[in-house]
Structure 1
Amino acid sequence: MKGLNKQEKSWALYDWANSAYSMTITSTVLPIYFKSVAEAGGMSSSNSTALWGYTISLSTMVVSLLAPILGTIADYKGNKKKFFKFFFTIGVLFTTLLAFIPENNPILLLFCYGFTLVGFSGTNIFYDAFLVDVSSKERMDKVSSYGFALGYIGSTIPFMISIVIVLLSQKNILPISLPMACKLTFLITSIWWLIFTIPLLKNVNQIYYVEPESNPVQKSFKRLFLTLKEIKNHKNIFLFLFAYFFYIDGVDTIIGMATSYGTDLGISMIALLIILLLTQFVAFPFTILYGKLSEKLGGKKLLYIGIATYTIICVYGYFIKTAVDFLILAMAVGSAQGGIQAISRSFFGKMVPKEHANEFFGFYNIFGKFAAIIGPLLVAIITQATGQTRNGILSLIILFVLGFICLTKVDEE
């Protein structure tokens, strides 16, 4: 962090803050907790996995539909941080509410989870767009990679606290039930997210913007449609977005549904938590490595490497049977997960006009979020149709192949 200025550090710390949500709510404790609640409600394993996938698809669709126009409005001076604060409040509030949902109500639990996803995803639109305000084009790969790397380390701290609480509960050392222990982890997550977002709120401001106009909403729609009308003038940007649409779909689906898959394989809750914790420690150095290698090889080649790694992961995921197999799979995911996300963000940030960064990052997020609808939906449908989650994971290869093909059409220079 010594090489980063105050604004870059404050921006990168938000990855440290919100990655606790990604780890605990999206990837580990909540999915496992939901499985136990769903089982108590009489749901089959495959149906609960499918219901989880449908919830992710529905909630991300809301943000996807709003992203471009919100981004266009946020390009006006002073609006970027206002929208950031709005979605941030929704995310933290509903993450807190997860701790107060009755243990026998899986539908209400999924309802609140959907709103946490809306808040988390909506906030990221404006967080990503702030990258152009805090960093130069030459430093974006480094700063973006440091942000993701900080996220992987930062998320492990509240996560390890959560593991300790769960273990002490299971051993009857803490006089609380396992469901109550899970609820405490949700509270810890929301507090962590809140505290470490403060530096961004204090030190990061919108530098590149469009001057305020009368009828900003109406004119934002006009600017949005004008951009779409002139796609040929932004051909390279939209070619990348189509590539991103496919490969990030596969990435996000694997992140969001990994624990459900592990549970379906019969891996215990504690084993899953430990494996996913180790994944964070693997992801930390590999994310920084991606950032450093991109300075020598270029971002596009690093994206190729990430896509190839995930394709292999899908094939291997079809054959895994034991906790050791799942551990190997998780380590492979850790080696590429942060790198492909960080380089995608900075690669796109270098391409867009800075004063319209929110508008273009709105497109970036709508492509990413609409993609996040298709992946879980694909896994859910294939899983329900075949009764085997492994078939759903294997089907994700299609997305990585399509992403690779589209990326070859992008002119990095």
Structure 2
Amino acid sequence: MAVREQRDDKASNAAAPSGKLTKREKQWIVYDVGNSAFVLLSTAVIPIYANSLLEAAGQDNIVSTWGYAQTIASLVIAVLMPLLGSIADVQGMKVKFFLGFFLTGVVMCCAMALPLGWLAFLVVYVLATIGLNGSLTFYDSMLIDTTSNERMDKVSSHGYGWGYVGSTIPFLVCIALIFGGPALLGLDTALCTRISFVITAIWWVAFTIPLLTSYRQVHYRATRDQLGTAVRGTFRELGATFGKIFRNKPLWMFMVAFFFYIDAVNTVITMSTSYGTQLGLDSTQLVIALLVTQFVAFPCAILYGRLAGRFGAKPMIMVAVVAYMCIVFFAAFFLKTELQFWILAIMVGMFQGGIQALSRSYYGKIIPKDHANEYYGFYDIFGKTASIIGTFLVATTTTLTGNPSIGVLSIALLLVLALVFLILQKDPTRA
């Protein structure tokens, strides 16, 4: 490991005023601003556009179709990330893998602007989602190279917070184009929607450049001349890492809890618009409500980081899990009108960024930093496998029962299990 580099990095963070973000921390944060534009578009606009393509082809179940698309994307990431993450722990490799997945996501985001049928569009969207989620795995692990343990909660929360509010800028431009383009420019709505995909990709690229030009890998497990050995030993090391996780009771108990509660978070995020669409809610109201979510999430995510500094990351994660139980029950039993969808959107915004940000930073504190990518690969297995189960469960239950509300309710049990494991887990950061 690069011991001297680690000392220099800590010194640079210590030299900065404790209440302010360092330059490197800000450059890491802005990638959240860039990629969140695609995340927001995927939540609010793309499902509606995909639904229009499905209806044109005579298909009528957007919830199950969208759920299966999300499941496939999550499964690919869950399989790839531990293997690639282990290789990326080699000196200088992390940024290369990040760049590869980032470029895949951007190119596929632009490709969605092509006039495609519903199946081809979903294939391209799945590839774009794989690119996004793959880049996020390496981006998350870059956090340990960017700041210290004491500042991780704050920096991670600022990433999600600024990502929420920053993503609204290109989103508002896209919405103005989609709703105003037909009257002002004489373009049809479908073409305006496709142009919005290109706008989002440009924004994504612009806010990735600071990270690419400034990032340096501080924690690593081998030098470049050991790359061949590292690659050949990857599968053996993955087995050894799994064994270390299994022997570390606080770590694996958190990962199991994370597996269950992130299921609910990801499922609510990815399925909310398609669920509201199938209930017959007005698409304009859905989009505006989700836009409000971003503004609510911005201060709440940053507030969560401050509260974690006072009460600890784990207690604040537990608060969010309980809140998501309330959200799931509200969605299953009460969501019928646009006003109720607005209430749901605000509730999600209050806790969504906090639980994601603190999960990322809490995990970074309790893992070996010289194997961070490898451990974050397993983090992705648990996170993305949960997404597979969540979306598949909702899609399948909805298909079998014909009632999307029952599909939403089916994830409540997972939240209860998550809370049990969090209660039983001993917090290593409190030692």
Aligned residue runs from structure 1 range 221-300, under 5 A? 221-300=235-314
Distance 2:145 2:244 in 1: 25
1:61-80 alignment, distance < 5 Å: 61-80=75-94
After TM superposition, the structure 1 stretch with the greater mean CA deviation from structure 2, 361-370 or 400-409, is 400-409
Letter of the 1:51 counterpart: T
Q: Which amino acid aligns with 1:19?
A: S
Matches within 5 A, 1:22-101: 22-24=39-41, 26-44=42-60, 47-101=61-115
Cα distance in 2, alignment partners of residues 119 and 232 from structure 1:
29
1:215 deviates by: 2.6
Task: Give SS of 1:279's match.
Answer: helix
What does 1:8-407 align with in structure 2 at a 5 Å threshold? 8-24=25-41, 26-44=42-60, 47-102=61-116, 105-170=117-182, 172-212=183-223, 213=226, 214-318=228-332, 319-407=334-422
Measure the CA separation in 2 of the matches of 1:108 and 1:234: 44
Tell me which amino acid in the other structure corresponds to 2:249: K
Q: Contact conserved, 1:129 with 1:358, CA < 8 A, in 2? A: yes
TM-align CA RMSD: 1.2
Q: Which residue is 2:426 aligned to?
A: 411
- Post-superposition Cα deviations, 1:352-405, rounded to whole Å, max 9, x if no partner, equal 111111111111111101111000001001111111111111111112111111
Give distance in 2, aligned partners of 1:113 and 1:403.
Answer: 30
Q: Which portions of structure 1, spanning 4 or more consecutive aligned residues, are displaced by more than 6 angstroms?
A: none
- Give the drift of 1:232: 4.2
Per the TM alignment, residue 288 of structure 1 is displaced from its structure 2 partner at its CA by: 0.7
Given that 1:17 and 1:195 are in contact with CA atoms closer than 8 Å, whether structure 2 keeps it comes out as yes
Q: 2 CA distance for matches of 1:95 and 1:8?
A: 27
Separation in structure 1 between the aligned mates of residue 335 and residue 240 of structure 2, nearest angstrom: 49
- TM-score, normalised to structure 2, is 0.92
Q: Please, which runs of 5 or more residues in structure 1 have no aligned partner?
A: none
> Structure 1 counterpart of 2:39, which letter?
S
Aligned residues: 407
Q: Deviation per CA, 1:247-286: give whole Å up to 9, x if none.
A: 0011001000100011112222211111110010000011
The 1:261/1:39 distance shift into structure 2, 3 A limit, reads: same
CA distance in 2, matches of 1:299, 1:289: 12
Give the Cα–Cα distance (whole angstroms) in 1 for the partners of residues 87 and 425 of structure 2: 28
- Give the superposition deviation at 1:181: 1.1
Report if aligned partners of 1:6, 1:203 keep a CA contact under 8 Å in 2: no
Matched-pair contact (CA < 8 Å) for 1:19–1:151: yes
Cα distance in 2, alignment partners of residues 199 and 329 from structure 1: 35
TM-score (norm 1): 0.96
Q: Give unmatched runs, 5+ long, in structure 2.
A: 1-16
Check the 8 A contact 1:241/1:364 in 2, yes or no.
yes
Which letter does structure 2 place at the counterpart of 1:167? F
Deviation at 1:229, TM superposition (A): 2.5
Q: Aligned with 1:99: secondary structure?
A: coil
Distance in 1 (alpha carbons) for counterparts of 2:207 and 2:320 = 29
Q: Distance in 1 between matches of 2:328 and 2:210?
A: 38
CA distance in 1, matches of 2:287, 2:174: 10
Instruction: Give me the whole-angstrom Cα distance separating, in 2, the residues matched to 1:275 and 1:228.
Output: 42
Q: Structure 2 CA distance, aligned partners of 1:5 and 1:235?
A: 34
Counterpart contact for 2:304–2:316, Cα < 8 Å:
yes
- Between the aligned partners of 2:344 and 2:402, the Cα distance in structure 1 is 21
CA shift digits 1:198-240 (9 cap, x unpaired): 0000011110101232432121222111112233442221111
Does the Cα contact within 8 Å between 1:101 and 1:108 map onto a contact in 2? Answer: no
Change (3 A) 1:232 1:395: closer
Q: Distance in 2 between matches of 1:230 and 1:32?
A: 44
